[in-house]
A and B are shown apart, each in its own frame.
Chain A
Amino acid sequence: GNSVTQMEGPVTLSEEAFLTINCTYTATGYPSLFWYVQYPGEGLQLLLKATKADDKGSNKGFEATYRKETTSFHLEKGSVQVSDSAVYFCALTAPGGTSYGKLTFGQGTILTVHP
Chain B
Amino acid sequence: DTEVTQTPKHLVMGMTNKKSLKCEQHMGHRAMYWYKQKAKKPPELMFVYSYEKLSINESVPSRFSPECPNSSLLNLHLHALQPEDSALYLCASSQETQGLHYGYTFGSGTRLTVV
Contact = CB atoms under 8 A, between A and B. Distances in A.
Given A34-B103, A42-B108, A108 B42 contact: yes
Given A42-B109, A43-B109, A46-B105, A51 B100 contact: yes
Interface residues of B, number: 27
A45 B107 CA distance: 9
Contacts, number: 65
A96 B41 CA distance: 26
Nearest to A99: B98
Contact of A107 (B42, B45, B104, B108): B42
Interface string A20-42: 00000000000010101000001
Interface of B: 6, 31, 33, 40-43, 45, 48, 50, 55-56, 88, 90, 92, 97-101, 103-109
22 contacts: A34-B104, A36-B106, A42-B109, A43-B88, A44-B90, A44-B106, A45-B106, A46-B105, A46-B106, A51-B100, A91-B42, A95-B98, A100-B56, A101-B48, A101-B56, A102-B45, A103-B43, A103-B45, A103-B92, A103-B104, A105-B43, A108-B41
